[in-house]
Chains A and B, each alone.
Chain A
Amino acid sequence: MLLVSLLVLVYIWMTVSKQIEFNEAKTMWSVIIFRKYKFFSDLQYIPLVIGFIVGIAQYAPEALQSRLKLTLHLPVKENKILIQMLFAGFVLIGLLFLFIEIFLTIITGIYFPSEIVSDMLTTIYPWILSGFAVYFAIGSIFVEPVWSRRITLIITSIALISILFTTGDFTFSALLLLTIVTFIIPFWTILTGYNFKRGIK
């Protein structure tokens, strides 16, 4: 995942540098400012894919191979171990996203003023959130034992993630609200863990 992210970032870097070379910097700036051109748009779904892959890799074997029972039998409080599992994945994808943001900030900072860097960071923020949202949602969906609730979780998660990919600028309040909603999802996992413990089918 790190390699794929790096390849996409290098591709973005090379594309930007070539565009500036062929079109002059001020033309490029004008396209970015007035036509809202996103030179980093190739990155849009990368966080989502990272969150999805990490979530599936971590939770699918736990649920499908009944390993969750093994995990919940460890001499640790159930909620604590579920939170630790989520935290481990959160840290992993968080580090990958941090790497993407830093790399992209450096590339952007080389060619463009700080206003464009800031605009770029605001634009990619919902995409980054989508990575966390899908990861947390997968955790909840796999731990949840009841299929009807799983489907509800899937539909709700798709709705949230779709909002994150809506075109147009988000206000600060909207971003704050979306951040809160995304980070509420881990609490679903605690709830679904409770359902798992009750053995509801």
Chain B
Amino acid sequence: MENVVEVKNLTHYYGKKLVYENLNFSIKKGSIFGLLGKNGTGKTTTINILNGFLKPASGQCLMFGEDSYKLSPETKARVGFLIEGHIQYDFMNIVQIEKFYSQFYPKWKKEPYWELMSKLKVTQGQRISKMSCGQRSQVALGLLLAQDPDLLILDDYSMGLDAGYRRLFIDYLSEYAKAEGKTIFITSHIIQDLENFLDDCVIIDYNSVLLTMPVKEFQKNFRQFNFTTQEAHLNLEKDDLVRNFENIKGHCVIYTFASESEVSEYLTQKGIAFTNLKLESMSLEDAFIGITGKY
């Protein structure tokens, strides 16, 4: 299947501080791809590189086959971009901004924009700067959908939104994704909203890339095992089997891609006396916290 985005060996620094090294992923046409990571791990940096607002230290990003740093106007017209915080030309009202954008986009479809606007309790003459954060997010979303882009890049769409507006955002994005060949690249710090929405994901941590895989595969193979031990200060270092470990007064949790028998054998080999080894079910958010850690 055709790749809409290809990220190859991307490495970036801010000054001497490494953001990440050798980030690789590709986004298939028609898929919903999530870039997940805690605050400050480089999600917005990646989006800035993808949109050509940042030159990476090394590596390459391709969007529709073009180097993301030298995107042609034609390719930009195929990419809808939501900036973190739903930034817009907020001195305009909803009529002015629709008219403004429509001049730039050859495939402009005003219907989805006005459908969304009709649900907002705003007047046509009301400036965007005078709207609530949720209302502004809907204006931004409506403008993106009206562009009818082939790729939608959303940098933390959930910022400042309550549960209702976040749900509305995801519902509209799902409808958009159902259209033929539409692709979504999304980042969010609220992982629970993305459950059953994402197809693939890359999870990044400070200075490193933790994994890149289909979300279903991640949720199926990444496991949480609880056990109890008498060793109140037991600590297991991360290795090939242990992806994360927590111990609260002898109640231990191992996050791993290994099976129950492999974990049991591992603990026995380490000489750890344990009881009640049990597989716990996890949501996507649990799995995310499991692999990235709470701190």
Interface positions of A (Cβ within 8 A of B): 61, 65-67, 69-70, 72-77, 196-199, 201
A75 touches B104 (CB 8 A): yes
- Interface segment among B3-11, B46-54, B182-190, B227-235: the answer is B46-54
In the docked arrangement, what's the CA distance between A6 and B72, Å? Answer: 45
In the docked arrangement, what's the CA distance between A72 and B49, Å? Answer: 14
Residues 51-69 of chain B, each 1 if its beta carbon lies under 8 Å from chain A, else 0: 1111100000000000001
| A-B Cβ contacts below 8 A, count | 48
A199 touches B73 (CB 8 A): no
In the docked arrangement, what's the CA distance between A197 and B53, Å? Answer: 5
Interface positions of B (Cβ within 8 A of A): 14, 48-49, 51-55, 69, 73-74, 76-77, 79, 81, 83, 85, 87-91, 104-105
User: Which residues on the B side are within 8 Å of A75 (C-beta)?
Assistant: 73-74, 76-77, 104-105
In the docked arrangement, what's the CA distance between A74 and B143, Å? Answer: 12
B88 touches A70 (CB 8 A): yes
B87 touches A199 (CB 8 A): no
In the docked arrangement, what's the CA distance between A61 and B83, Å? Answer: 15
Chain B at the A interface: SS class: loop
Known contacts A198-B54, A199-B54: does B48 contact A65 (CB below 8 Å)? no
From A70, A73, A76, A199, B89 is in contact (CB under 8 Å) with A70
* Closest B residue to A62 using CB positions: B89
Identify the 10 closest CB pairs spanning chains A and B, nearest first. Answer: A199-B54, A75-B77, A75-B73, A75-B76, A198-B55, A73-B81, A74-B104, A66-B87, A75-B104, A76-B73
Which of B49, B53, B87, B104 gathers the greatest number of chain A CB atoms within 10 Å?
A: B53
B51 touches A76 (CB 8 A): no
User: Which residues on the A side are within 8 Å of B79 (C-beta)?
Assistant: 73
A66 touches B104 (CB 8 A): no
In the docked arrangement, what's the CA distance between A61 and B89, Å? Answer: 9
User: Which residues on the A side are within 8 Å of B85 (C-beta)?
Assistant: 66
In the docked arrangement, what's the CA distance between A77 and B52, Å? Answer: 12
* Closest B residue to A72 using CB positions: B53
From A69, A74, A76, A77, B87 is in contact (CB under 8 Å) with A69
- Min C-beta distance of A191 to chain B, whole Å: 15
From B51, B54, B55, B91, A73 is in contact (CB under 8 Å) with B51
* Closest B residue to A74 using CB positions: B104
A73 touches B14 (CB 8 A): no
In the docked arrangement, what's the CA distance between A185 and B73, Å? Answer: 26
12 CB-based A-B contacts, threshold 8 Å: A69-B51, A69-B83, A70-B81, A70-B88, A70-B89, A73-B51, A73-B81, A75-B105, A197-B55, A198-B54, A198-B55, A199-B53
Known contacts A75-B73, A75-B77: does B55 contact A65 (CB below 8 Å)? no
- Knowing that A65-B87, A74-B104, A199-B55 touch, tell me 15 more A-B residue pairs with CB under 8 angstroms: A67-B89, A69-B51, A69-B53, A69-B81, A70-B83, A70-B87, A70-B88, A72-B53, A75-B73, A75-B76, A75-B77, A75-B104, A197-B52, A197-B55, A198-B55
* Closest A residue to B14 using CB positions: A201
In the docked arrangement, what's the CA distance between A74 and B55, Å? Answer: 19
